[in-house]
Structure 1
Amino acid sequence: MRYAMAGRSVDDARGRAARSIPLWRMLPGLLRDPLGQLVAVADSAEGEIVRLNLGTIRPYLVTEPAHVQHVLRDNEANYTRGGNSMLWRPVRRLTGEGILSDGPQWQASRARMQPHFTAKRIDSLVDTMSRAVSDAVDEFDEPARTGRWFDAGTELGRVICRAISSVFFADRVSLADQLRIVAAQGTIVTALRARLLLPFVPDAVPVPGDRALSRAIGVVDDIMLPLVRAEMADPRDGDDLLAALARARDEQGRPLDERQVRDDVVASFATATETTYAVLTWLWPILDAHPEIAERLYAELDEVVGTDRTISREQLRALTYTRAVVEELLRMYPAGWLLPRTALADDVIGGTRIKAGSIVVVSSYITQRLARFWDRPDVFDPERFRGDQSRRGHRYAYFPFGGGPHQCLGMYLFNLEAPLVVATMLSRYRFRLREPGMPPKQLAAALRPGRPVIMALSPVRERRPA
């Protein structure tokens, strides 16, 4: 489907005005399938930047990989996450002013945390994470034995939270508190939806979800702040993230205040757990809809993992098809589907003039489904990420973790953790869904299924003891 666009004026010296799509032309599609509508607009634009007339806001839609690179990397200093940006302001009610902000605060937080997210550091944690994931997956034995139905998302959250807690907090967060955090994060992601859709409403004006958001943030603080205070009062000589931040110093050599430590810990934990949770919850309906892919995945796990209880680094490296499945999940269902920016100064991108103060919307979901870059973009096909097929025409045709200086610190952690969770679960169990079919997409701070994915497990075989 092609979309008629308003005419534009041309000024070669300053770039041309962006084509504008009126709201009335998009409204039926936005109400029916918002993301599908935006992908159709981007496909019709054929590489040009368009401006969406959404009433009170008129963001520029930037989807061409070269243009995405300009915003996220080449001229990133001009495109801030601060101000009244449609996503970042409400998200910072949870994460504070640190790793998800801009300027000196962001630079300081990133410099403090970068050493904890290097490939070498994360590789050293494989055994710790593997044991934590295995212990958490052990708790599926009872529902698998009885055939009890459960919410896949909730249970995945528990497994992921256990794994991340083992490396961020050295298991200092109790299982009960981990479950409280999982529930609170689910509330936060959903509660932020109204703020995301109503970016022009001042924070002082209440919108639906605000009370639930405040209560959920309160739950997180009730758990995290005492943990931070105890660590700062009696620092350990540990190498986990909490211990390291509690010992950290600012540029003047002074200890960080508890709010700085809290913000960096909460932001890191929230993004690390939410990304894995959101992406892997889509796995089960995908495998149910594609039994041939499920069989190839099971075959690799049978060959590489067999009946082992925990997965080693060598086994993890050998799970090439498992990793390809995860990468294709990231392409089709990136958790961080929306990366809005605010232009600080006038700019020209691909010949199109961008006005200072305007919102620029970059979306990995949209770019990663463009038909001119991806063959059969709506078909789940892990083979895209195997061998030579994995080479894209442009670096920013695939950017599920963003790009440039603000690229997600936890990218390597996800690329280790997600295959580890998938392999541990599916080497032990087979699953069935109570309601087959792909869930609708819920547009919130992260891209989640719009309904619970309810499933049951059955054991594959007896496994070797630890």
Structure 2
Amino acid sequence: MGRRADGEIVQINLGPFRPYLVTRPDHLQHILRGNAANYTREGVFWRPLHRLFGHSIMSDGPPWERSRKVLQPVFTAKNVESLAQRMADAIADGIDGLAEPVGSGRPIDVPAEMARIVNTAVVKIFFGDKISMADTERLAPAFNAVGTSVVFRYLLPFLPGSVPVPGDRAFHGALRTIDDIVVPLVERYRDRPGDGDDIVSVLCRAGGHDDPVWVRDNLVAMLATATETTAGALTWLWPLLHSHRDVAARLREEIDRVVGGERVRPEHLASLPYTKQVVQEVLRLFPVGWLFPRMVVAEENVGGVRLRRGRTVLISPYITHRLPALWDRPDEFDPDRFSPSRSQGRHRYAYFPFGGGPHQCIGMYVFTMEAHLIIAGILSRYRQVACSPEVATPRMGASLRPRQHVEIVLRPAREAGREGAA
């Protein structure tokens, strides 16, 4: 539909539900930034997520403003850089856990292992080790279940919540698991948050005594976004590298040259420009946040189309990132499209995997550093010699994940080199 519309704003006929589809960068800039207050995170698409995140940084209006004001200092580029070495050490410790399956030659469960490595770092650095790894291991599948169980709610957004659909039981079960972990955590620290700069302490100091539900909502939001985004994006990486051997070889060469046999350090990252391009291209093809619905507050004309009050506007990085008018060979995996020379003149909203405007993801600096450290850390030690499936395809959900279960086989870099493995 996006390609047929060719950048024009169109209304999609989904029976009783007729949202506007907006794909052109200048229109997106107006909605996400220029007049963002007129397009809120409300409406039928947000109902399942509001049940999960409540009045948090994933909402809108005063609760969102309060949440962002409290959490923003934790995620500034300056603060993330100050935590970089601790993050690098935690990620390296997480990658150490791959040694056993690699040594035994077993396939590696990519979603589970990427989540484990990310969680090892995120919980330690940003949650002050206040969540046990056992609880973290319970949270990862619960958040994944939430993401996949809302499919029918997305496909039938006009149905009221009182009408049961497939996935509701899984959603409520996952929600109970999340609350079984997060609610006691809030109770434990709400009246004694301490003076730490981790997310739990920051939120409890701001609202633990007066508004524990607000603390709970934001903890759930941050746990979901700080872990799911990185782990989800990295799951797509391995099938893409397996089916594009030239990209994989160039990526390995850069990492071998810069990192060598050392542990990856934050100062290595500035010398890994191709690694950055690979991550950018993964997010272009498979942005984890693939759909950003908005509700029109006041009627206005955009691009010659009257957007009526109360209607839903659908914004999708997945669609805009694949428009032929914006991208040459849009369905091909080509990290060189993010080289400095080819990036010149590109509209800011031709590529927006982290959203834009006031609601731009505050964790994008964390994601960028995490992803680069994890990729460089794994490929400095290991070589990928097999992947199943060879090509992954997306499934619908709250976040964009592969339909197929992804597994890879790794070999130690030195051993693979001796064997001449690709």
Q: Structure 1 length normalisation: TM-score? A: 0.86
Using the alignment, how far apart are the partners of 1:175 and 1:287 within structure 2? 30
Q: Which of 60, 63, 69 is 2:29 aligned to?
A: 69
Equivalent in the alignment of 1:379: 332
Equivalent in the alignment of 1:352: 305
Equivalent AA in structure 2 for residue 162 of structure 1: T
CA contact (8 A) 2:389 2:407 kept: no
Shift of the alpha carbon at 1:44?
2.9
Equivalent in the alignment of 1:302: 256
Equivalent in the alignment of 2:420: none
Per-residue Cα deviation, 1:418-462 (whole angstroms, up to 9, x for no partner): 111111111111123353421221110001000100112111149
Partner SS state of residue 367, structure 2? helix
CA contact (8 A) 2:266 2:373 kept: no
Partner SS state of residue 32, structure 2? helix
Per-residue Cα deviation, 1:152-174 (whole angstroms, up to 9, x for no partner): 11111111111111222112222
1:263–1:392 distance in 2 versus 1, CA, 3 Å: farther
Equivalent in the alignment of 1:291: 245
Equivalent in the alignment of 1:213: 171
Rg bigger for which structure?
A: 1
Asked if residue 245 in structure 1 is aligned to residue 203 in structure 2, the reply is yes
Asked if residue 262 in structure 1 is aligned to residue 222 in structure 2, the reply is no
Using the alignment, how far apart are the partners of 2:369 and 2:388 within structure 1? 30
Shift of the alpha carbon at 1:255?
4.1
Runs (4+) of structure 1 exceeding 3 A deviation are: none
CA contact (8 A) 1:324 1:385 kept: yes
> Where does the alignment leave 5 or more consecutive residues of structure 2 unmatched?
416-422
Shift of the alpha carbon at 1:278?
1.4
CA contact (8 A) 2:317 2:353 kept: yes
Q: Which of 74, 79, 87 is 1:116 aligned to?
A: 74
> CA RMSD, aligned part only?
1.5
Equivalent in the alignment of 1:361: 314
Equivalent in the alignment of 1:335: 288
Using the alignment, how far apart are the partners of 1:229 and 1:185 within structure 2? 21
Q: Which of 43, 48, 60 is 2:3 aligned to?
A: 43
Using the alignment, how far apart are the partners of 2:221 and 2:399 within structure 1? 14
Equivalent in the alignment of 2:418: none
Partner SS state of residue 122, structure 1? helix
Using the alignment, how far apart are the partners of 1:449 and 1:138 within structure 2? 25
Partner SS state of residue 233, structure 1? coil
Equivalent in the alignment of 1:100: 58
Shift of the alpha carbon at 1:392?
4.4
Equivalent AA in structure 2 for residue 382 of structure 1: P
Equivalent residues, number: 415
CA contact (8 A) 1:246 1:256 kept: no
CA contact (8 A) 1:433 1:453 kept: no
Using the alignment, how far apart are the partners of 1:358 and 1:392 within structure 2? 33
Partner SS state of residue 355, structure 2? coil
What pairs with 1:129-278 in structure 2 (closer than 5 Å)? 129-248=87-206, 255-278=209-232
Q: Where is the helix percentage greater, Structure 1 or Structure 2? A: 2
> Where does the alignment leave 5 or more consecutive residues of structure 1 unmatched?
1-40
Using the alignment, how far apart are the partners of 1:392 and 1:138 within structure 2? 42
Q: Structure 2 length normalisation: TM-score? A: 0.95
Per-residue Cα deviation, 1:369-393 (whole angstroms, up to 9, x for no partner): 1111111111111111122222343
Using the alignment, how far apart are the partners of 1:158 and 1:438 within structure 2? 23
What pairs with 1:84-99 in structure 2 (closer than 5 Å)? 84-86=43-45, 88-99=46-57
Partner SS state of residue 236, structure 1? coil
Per-residue Cα deviation, 1:392-414 (whole angstroms, up to 9, x for no partner): 43110011111111111111111
Equivalent in the alignment of 1:59: 19
CA contact (8 A) 1:177 1:223 kept: yes
Per-residue Cα deviation, 1:256-300 (whole angstroms, up to 9, x for no partner): 421111111110120121111111101000000000000011011
Using the alignment, how far apart are the partners of 1:205 and 1:392 within structure 2? 48
Equivalent AA in structure 1 for residue 17 of structure 2: I
Partner SS state of residue 288, structure 1? helix
Per-residue Cα deviation, 1:120-172 (whole angstroms, up to 9, x for no partner): 01111111111111111111101101101132111111111111112221122
CA contact (8 A) 2:41 2:293 kept: yes
Equivalent in the alignment of 2:419: none
Equivalent in the alignment of 1:9: none
